[in-house]
Amino acid sequence: MTNSLPETDALFRPANPAHFENKQISRPSLSFWQDAVLKIVKNKMAVIGFVLLTAIIVLSIIGPYLVPYSQSEQSLTEGNLPLSSDHWFGTDDLGRDMWARIWAGARISLIIGIASALIDLVIGITVGGVSGYMAGRGKTGDRIDSFLMRIVEVLYGIPYLLVVILLMVIMEPGLVTMIIALSITGWVGMARIVRGQILQLKQQEFVLAAEKLGTSHGKIIIKHLLPNMMGIIIVTLTFTIPQAIFAESFLSFLGLGVQAPTASWGTMANDALGTILSGHWWRLFFPALMISLTMFAFNAFGDGLQDALDPRSKN
């Protein structure tokens, strides 16, 4: 209420029906998602990020087939060739085509990024969702919530590097081990975000209204809770995917990740270290460029998504 009150009885006389608010709205009705797409299209950095991402994904699929070499085909006579019309990105010391290897490495990076993000998503939403939804629902509910959160806290404290090294000892080093290692600690962040969101949304009056109207728990979760957290979940994903990709490159660079002869940007960069002084610049340049471009593309697009999907940014 504002400060001055007009005379109250006059105030509550029936209103003129002509003033009723049943005017039609002429603007087209945009759903949340249509609105978000419009916002992203207007954001230059996000568009650049999106185009780059699309290019990287498309080339990771078709790139290797554009040249007549395979990523593992060696030709010792053609070692360390500079860029040419035959070898677009040059060759490495074993004469393998760098273009083919770069896009084979892109596949590894994307598979790791997407697989660990999906695992984070499934486990994170399940654990965070159950935890947040049960919290405050009697003694049993609170107990389930605090049990799950205890697990989350413990895992949150473990550095992923430790888990990776431990797993590499137990399991065979490689793609699957790496995905498992990244997921074991990775889902925890998603679970925390989802739980926080649910706790907040549960208090919202539209959820209380749904409860009061007799809407079932399942429907409340599917129609009221999830759609209102989708934005934040997607934004979180666009930041966890590049984190996983970077982790893979970094670990492979250290020799803890994908093993030879599989191409990975990290192993390629590592192999190239010895050649910097000998002037074969393309051997380090292309893997490093791809890692940077991919990080940039995901982050630029993620920022745009955040602006478009975050309810707090209104424009």
Partner 1 sequence: MSENVLEIHDVKKHFNVGNKQVVKSVDGISFSIKKGETLGIVGESGSGKSTIGRTIVGLYEATAGKVVFEGKEISQLDRKEKREFNRKMQMIFQDPHASLNPRMRVGEIIAEGIDAYGLAKGKAKQERVFQLLERVGLHPDHATRFPHEFSGGQRQRIGIARALAVQPSFIVADEPISALDVSIQAQVVNLLEDLQKEEDLTYLFIAHDLAMVKHISDRIGVMYLGKMMELAESQTLFQEPLHPYTNALLSAIPVSAPKLRGTRERIVLGGDPPSPINPPSGCPFRTRCPSTMERCAVVMPEWKEVKKDHWVACHLY
Does 312 interact with partner 1 (rule: CB under 8 A)? no
Closest C-alpha among 234, 203, 241 to residue 117: 241
**Closest separation between CB of residue 241 and partner 1, Å?**
24
Instruction: Give the three-class secondary structure for 91.
Output: strand
Which residues are within 8 A (CB) of 165 and not within 5 positions of it... i.e. 6 or more apart?
Answer: 256
Q: Which of 41, 58, 209, 222 binds partner 1 (CB under 8 A)?
A: 209
Terminal C-alpha separation, the chain: 27
The C-alpha atoms of residue 186 and residue 192 are separated, in whole angstroms, by: 11
Residue whose token pair is 């990775």: 186
Instruction: Give the three-class secondary structure for 97.
Output: strand
By beta-carbon proximity to partner 1, the closer residue of 75 and 204 is 204
Q: Which of 7, 18, 170, 218 binds partner 1 (CB under 8 A)?
A: 7
Q: Segment 222-241, which members bind partner 1 (CB under 8 A)?
A: 223-224, 227-228
**Closest separation between CB of residue 146 and partner 1, Å?**
13
Does 217 interact with partner 1 (rule: CB under 8 A)? no
Which residues are within 8 A (CB) of 15 and not within 5 positions of it... i.e. 6 or more apart?
Answer: none
Alpha carbons within 13 angstroms on the beta-carbon side of residue 173 total 17
The C-alpha atoms of residue 131 and residue 166 are separated, in whole angstroms, by: 29
Peptide bond into 261 cis (omega under 30): yes
By beta-carbon proximity to partner 1, the closer residue of 1 and 76 is 1
Does 154 interact with partner 1 (rule: CB under 8 A)? no
By beta-carbon proximity to partner 1, the closer residue of 24 and 315 is 24
Does 65 interact with partner 1 (rule: CB under 8 A)? no
**Closest separation between CB of residue 121 and partner 1, Å?**
19
Does 140 interact with partner 1 (rule: CB under 8 A)? no
Stretches 7-15, 82-90, 170-178, 291-299: which one binds partner 1 (CB under 8 A)?
7-15
Residues that bind partner 1 (CB under 8 A): 1-9, 11-15, 17, 19-25, 27, 29-32, 204-206, 208-216, 219, 223-224, 227-228, 311
